[in-house]
Amino acid sequence: MAEVTRLYPREREVARRGQEPEPLWREVLGSRLRALRTSRDETLAQTAERAGISPQYLSEIERGRKEPSSEMIAALAGALDTTLIDLTTAVAQDLRRAADQVGARHPGSPVALAMAA
């Protein structure tokens, strides 16, 4: 049986450099979706039904385990009464904050150096 390898061994490379990994887009998106859902006091089932997906799939998206399609992200944004641009902007801001934190903890990191340029 063939061994499955990742295209970018993120955890191993980060550990070698002694840094924490930056969060992935899907992880930050999932956190943002969960925050929107819980701020509305909704269950997974309620939001998933309006978006046309299963609660299990929504749970996996919120936990950053699944990478939803752009159509699915748009459906979830609509189900949560937000726009795709507002959701995308919020996720981008969350990613920027995470990169800032990595840069602050590791001043010589490529992220910190790129942000200083």
Q: What is the pLDDT of residues 59-108, one digit of tens each?
A: 999 999 999 999 999 999 999 999 999 999 999 999 999 888 876 665 55
- Give the whole-angstrom CA distance, residue 29 versus residue 76: 11
Overall pTM > 0.85:
no
Helices 70-79 and 44-51 cross at an angle (nearest 10°) of: 120
Average pLDDT, the chain: 83
CATH number of 24-116: 1.10.260.40
pLDDT in tens, 15-66: 555 667 788 999 999 999 999 999 999 999 999 999 999 999 999 999 999 9
Do residues 98 and 22 lie in contact, with contact meaning Cβ atoms separated by under 8 Å? yes
For the record, the structure tokens of 8 come out as 């970018």
Following DSSP, what letter does each residue of 80-98 receive, concatenated? TT--HHHHHHHHHHHHHHH
Q: What is the pLDDT of residue 100?
A: 84
Beta strands, E only, the chain: none
Do residues 109 and 22 lie in contact, with contact meaning Cβ atoms separated by under 8 Å? no
